[in-house]
C-alpha cells in the first residue's frame, strides 16, 4: 500500500475532530466514498483545503451541520428494488400477520423514502394500525424531512413503476396530494411512526423488534462497523425476527452469518435463527 | 492500418519513452477499464483471448441501463477464459479475475484494495461511474495502476483517467478515430495527455504485455 497523501491525513484528522467535538462517529466509514463526499463539500463550502474546513467545523456548529448534509447520503428512492418489497409482501408479511402487534425498525431512514414505502405496504396488508415503526437516522435534517413527508412530485411520479412492480394494490397517487411541484404524503401513514436520532456507530438497542430494515446503509461502513450494526439488529430482533438488507449487502462473510438464515437470499431477506 | 501508425507516432512523440520502459518502470498491480456505447464489442475484442490465469486483475465499468439485474458476467464469461465476476461490496481484489461493476451502484476501491459500492447520485448521468472507480483506484494503487478508456458517448472517465495520470499510473486512451463513439476518448484527450493513444489491437497487446501473457 502506498503512503497516505497529505489530503488523506487531513481527512482522517477532520473525521477525528468531528468525533471529538460533536460525537458524530464517521471513523469507521468506508474511505473512498467518504473522501469523495468531503471533497464535494470542500467545493460547496468554498474551502481551499480539508484543514481549512476542519478549522471552520471546529469553531462553527452551523458549518458542521452543513457538512453533515454532505457526509450522510440522502440518495434513495421509494420502493427501490421492487422485487425486495414484493418478497417482503409475499414471504414476510404472512408471518407478520400472526403477531397481535408489530414493531419495525427502519435503521438509517434518511429522508424517509424507505419508510413511506414500508408504511404503504403495511397499510395495504392491513398491518399498519397495529404496527409501531421506529425510523432512525443520525442526520436531524433528514429526519425532519422524513417527518414532513413532502417529496418532489417529479421524483414521486418516477416511483410509480417501482410501486406497481412491488405488488402495489392501489394507484400510487392515492397516497399523496400533489401541489405545484411537490407531493405531500398522507399523514395517516406516519401516525404510528416514532422518529429518533440514533447512531449505529455509537448508540445501543432501544427496543425489541420483529422486522429490521437497513438498506444501503452498511455499504458505507467498514467491516468492523458493519459487525457492530448487525450485532445491534440481532439483539433487537425477537426470536425468529426478520432482517432486510440492500441488494449489495450480505451477512455471508460476517461473524453474525450463523445467527441468521436466508429467507429470500436474492432479495437479502434474512431470518433470525 | 493508417490509424494504427499515426496513433503510435503521436504516442512516441509525446511520451519519449516506449511502452516496454513505461510498463517495466511500474509494477502494475491492477488494470481499470471504462467504456460505454460500443463497449461490449470493444471489450469482447480486447479480452477474448486472455488466458485463465492473469496475475493482474482487470476491473471494468461498462455503462448499462440501470436495470436491477445483470447478466453481464455470464455474457462475458461465455467468451472469456478468465473468471468473470460482478464486484461485490467488501470483496478483496484477487488476481485471475475480470471484475465488472454491477448496475445501480458506484464501484470504488478502498486503500486496502477491497471493493466498496455506494448509491450516491449518478456522475455524468452514470451509476456506476468510470470517474468514481478510477479516482478511487488511483488512490489505492498510485503508480501501480493502468487505466484504459475506450469508446463511449459521454465524458465520464476523463477526470478519472487524469487522476490516474496525476498519481503516476499508466494511461491508455482508445484512438478516437477508431472508437465506435469518439466522445469519451476525445473528452479524455481534451483534459490531459495520456501515455498512449492506441487502437484496440494495440491496447490488446498492451494488456497482454502487462499480464505478460
Let me know whether A109 and A50 are in one domain.
Answer: no
- Decide if A41 contacts A70 (C-beta within 8 A): yes
Q: Give the count of beta carbons closer than 10 Å to the beta carbon of residue A179.
A: 10
Does residue A140 lie in a domain region?
A: yes
Cis peptide before B52 (omega within 30 of 0): no
* pLDDT at B67 (0 to 100): 63
Boundary (domain end) residue, out of A41, A71, A101:
A71
Inform me whether the pLDDT recorded for B6 exceeds 90: no
Does residue A77 lie in a domain region?
A: no
- Domain enclosing residue A57, as ranges: 6-71
Residue B117 to residue A248, Cβ atoms within 8 A? yes
Q: What is the pLDDT of residues B160-186, one digit of tens each?
A: 999 999 999 999 999 999 999 999 999
Does residue A76 lie in a domain region?
A: no
Boundary (domain end) residue, out of A38, A71, A104:
A71
Which residues 6+ apart lie within 8 Å of B207 measured at CB?
B31, B46, B47, B50, B58, B148
Q: What is the pLDDT of residues B27-83, one digit of tens each?
A: 999 999 999 999 999 999 999 999 999 999 999 999 987 665 578 899 999 999 999
Let me know whether A119 and A180 are in one domain.
Answer: yes
- Chain B residues in contact with A5 (beta carbon < 8 A): 139
Active-site residue, B156 included:
yes
Let me know whether A90 and A54 are in one domain.
Answer: no
Does residue A148 lie in a domain region?
A: yes
- Chain A residues in contact with B127 (beta carbon < 8 A): none
Angle at A207 between CA A203 and CA A211, to 5 degrees: 105
DSSP string, A117-149: HHHHHHHHTT-GGGEEEEEEES-HHHHHHHHHT
Instruction: Estimate to the nearest angstrom the gap between the alpha carbon of A48 and the chain centroid.
Output: 31
Let me know whether A113 and A133 are in one domain.
Answer: yes
Helix (H) or strand (E) holding A262: strand A260-264
The nearest alpha carbon in chain B to A8 belongs to B139
Let me know whether A91 and A219 are in one domain.
Answer: yes
**B88 vs A5, A35, A248: nearest CB:** A248
Interfacial A residues in 219-238 facing B (CB < 8 Å): 219-220, 223, 226
Let me know whether A164 and A198 are in one domain.
Answer: yes
Asked if B92 has any chain A CB less than 8 Å from its own CB, the reply is: no
- Decide if B12 contacts B171 (C-beta within 8 A): no
Residue B116 to residue A219, Cβ atoms within 8 A? yes
List B36, B129, B136, B187, catalytic entry: B36
Write out chain A's pLDDT in tens, 273 residues. Answer: 557 788 899 999 999 999 999 999 999 999 999 999 999 999 999 999 999 999 999 999 999 999 999 999 766 799 999 999 999 999 999 999 999 999 999 999 999 999 999 999 999 999 999 999 999 999 999 999 999 999 999 999 999 999 999 999 999 999 999 999 999 999 999 999 999 999 999 999 999 999 999 999 999 999 999 999 999 999 999 999 999 999 999 898 899 999 999 999 999 999 999
Cis peptide before B128 (omega within 30 of 0): yes
- Write the CATH number for A161: 3.40.50.150
Residue B109: phi and psi, rounded to 5, are -115, 130
- Decide if B212 contacts B55 (C-beta within 8 A): yes
Residue A32 to residue B108, Cβ atoms within 8 A? yes
Does residue A117 lie in a domain region?
A: yes
List B106, B124, B129, B156, catalytic entry: B156
Half-sphere exposure of B93 (CA within 13 A, CB side): 28
Let me know whether A140 and A261 are in one domain.
Answer: yes
**B118 vs A82, A220, A226: nearest CB:** A220
Asked if B18 has any chain A CB less than 8 Å from its own CB, the reply is: no
Residue A219 to residue B121, Cβ atoms within 8 A? no
**A75 vs B108, B121, B142: nearest CB:** B121
Let me know whether A149 and A217 are in one domain.
Answer: yes
Residue A30 to residue B116, Cβ atoms within 8 A? yes
Does residue A220 lie in a domain region?
A: yes
Hey, of B32, B87, B88, B90, which one would you mutate to test binding to chain A, going by the most A CBs within 10 A of its CB? Answer: B90
Beta bridge partners of A183: A151, A178
**A31 vs B111, B119, B141: nearest CB:** B111
Interfacial B residues in 63-82 facing A (CB < 8 Å): 68
Does residue A181 lie in a domain region?
A: yes
Q: What is the dihedral angle through the alpha carbons of A147, A153, A158, A163, rounded to the nearest 10 degrees?
A: 50
What average pLDDT does the segment B95-99 reach?
A: 96
Half-sphere exposure of A9 (CA within 13 A, CB side): 4
- In whole numbers, what is the pLDDT of chain B averaged over residues? 90
Active-site residue, B78 included:
no
**A33 vs B120, B140, B143: nearest CB:** B120
Residue at grid coordinates 428512492 = A77
From B97, B126, B140, select the one nearest B34 (Cα to Cα): B126
Residue A35 to residue B132, Cβ atoms within 8 A? no
Residue A248 to residue B112, Cβ atoms within 8 A? no
Let me know whether A19 and A129 are in one domain.
Answer: no
Let me know whether A122 and A59 are in one domain.
Answer: no
Let me know whether A106 and A204 are in one domain.
Answer: yes
- Chain A residues in contact with B105 (beta carbon < 8 A): 219, 248
Boundary (domain end) residue, out of A47, A71, A95:
A71
Query: How many independent structural domains does chain A possess?
Result: 2
Instruction: Identify the three-state secondary structure at position A37.
Output: helix
Let me know whether A181 and A267 are in one domain.
Answer: yes
Residue B136 to residue A219, Cβ atoms within 8 A? no
DSSP string, A164-202: HHTT--S-GGGGEEEETTEEEEPGGGGTTEEEEE--TTT
Does residue A1 lie in a domain region?
A: no
Q: Give the count of beta carbons closer than 10 Å to the beta carbon of residue A231.
A: 17
Gap between the Cα atoms of A231 and A244, Å rounded = 14
Cα separation values, A167 from A22, A88, A202, B109, B186, Å: 43, 10, 37, 36, 45
- Chain A residues in contact with B68 (beta carbon < 8 A): 81-83, 247
C-alpha cell belonging to residue A209:
423488534
Amino acid at each position: 500500500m502506498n503512503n497516505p497523501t497529505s489530503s488523506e491525513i487531513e481527512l482522517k484528522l477532520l473525521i477525528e475532530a468531528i468525533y471529538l467535538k460533536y460525537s458524530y462517529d464517521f471513523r469507521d466509514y468506508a474511505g473512498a466514498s467518504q473522501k469523495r463526499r468531503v471533497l464535494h463539500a470542500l467545493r460547496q463550502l468554498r474551502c481551499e483545503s480539508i484543514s481549512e474546513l476542519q478549522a471552520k467545523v471546529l469553531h462553527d456548529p452551523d458549518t458542521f451541520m452543513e457538512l453533515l448534509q454532505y457526509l450522510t447520503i440522502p440518495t434513495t428512492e421509494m420502493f427501490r428494488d421492487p422485487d425486495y418489497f414484493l418478497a417482503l409482501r409475499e414471504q414476510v408479511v404472512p408471518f407478520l400477520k400472526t403477531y397481535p402487534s408489530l414493531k419495525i425498525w427502519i435503521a438509517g431512514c434518511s429522508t424517509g423514502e424507505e419508510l413511506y414505502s414500508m408504511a404503504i405496504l403495511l397499510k395495504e396488508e392491513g398491518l399498519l394500525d397495529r404496527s409501531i415503526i421506529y425510523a432512525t437516522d443520525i442526520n436531524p435534517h433528514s429526519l425532519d424531512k422524513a417527518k414532513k413527508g413532502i417529496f418532489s412530485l417529479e421524483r414521486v411520479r418516477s416511483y410509480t413503476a417501482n410501486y406497481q412492480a412491488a405488488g402495489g394494490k392501489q394507484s400510487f397517487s392515492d397516497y399523496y396530494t400533489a401541489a405545484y411541484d411537490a407531493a405531500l404524503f398522507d399523514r395517516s401513514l406516519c401516525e404510528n411512526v416514532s422518529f429518533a436520532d440514533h447512531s449505529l456507530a455509537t448508540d445501543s438497542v432501544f427496543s425489541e423488534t420483529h422486522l429490521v430494515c437497513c438498506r444501503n446503509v452498511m455499504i458505507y461502513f467498514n467491516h468492523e462497523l458493519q459487525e457492530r450494526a448487525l450485532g445491534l439488529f440481532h439483539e433487537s430482533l425477537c426470536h425468529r425476527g426478520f432482517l432486510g438488507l440492500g441488494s449489495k449487502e450480505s451477512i455471508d462473510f460476517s461473524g453474525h452469518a450463523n445467527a441468521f438464515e436466508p429467507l429470500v437470499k436474492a432479495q437479502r431477506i434474512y431470518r433470525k435463527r | 492500418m493508417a490509424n494504427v501508425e499515426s496513433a503510435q507516432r503521436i504516442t512516441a512523440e509525446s511520451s519519449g519513452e516506449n511502452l516496454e520502459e513505461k510498463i517495466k518502470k511500474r509494477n502494475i498491480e491492477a488494470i481499470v477499464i471504462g467504456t460505454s456505447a460500443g463497449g461490449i464489442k470493444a471489450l469482447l475484442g480486447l479480452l477474448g483471448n486472455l488466458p485463465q490465469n492473469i496475475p493482474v486483475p482487470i476491473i471494468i465499468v461498462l455503462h448499462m441501463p440501470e436495470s436491477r439485474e445483470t447478466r453481464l458476467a455470464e455474457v462475458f464469461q461465455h467468451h472469456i477464459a478468465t473468471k468473470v465476476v460482478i464486484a461485490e461490496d467488501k470483496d478483496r481484489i484477487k488476481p485471475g479475475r475480470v471484475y465488472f461493476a454491477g448496475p445501480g451502484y458506484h464501484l470504488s476501491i478502498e486503500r486496502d484494495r477491497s471493493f466498496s459500492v455506494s448509491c450516491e447520485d449518478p456522475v455524468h448521468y452514470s451509476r456506476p461511474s468510470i470517474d468514481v472507480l478510477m479516482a478511487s483506484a488511483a488512490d489505492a494503487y498510485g503508480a501501480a495502476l493502468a487505466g484504459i478508456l475506450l469508446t463511449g458517448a459521454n465524458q465520464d472517465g476523463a477526470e478519472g483517467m487524469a487522476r490516474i495520470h496525476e498519481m503516476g499510473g499508466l494511461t491508455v486512451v482508445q484512438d478516437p478515430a477508431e472508437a465506435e463513439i469518439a466522445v469519451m476518448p476525445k473528452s479524455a484527450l481534451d483534459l490531459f495527455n495520456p501515455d498512449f493513444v492506441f487502437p484496440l489491437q494495440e491496447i490488446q497487446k498492451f494488456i497482454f504485455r502487462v499480464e505478460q501473457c
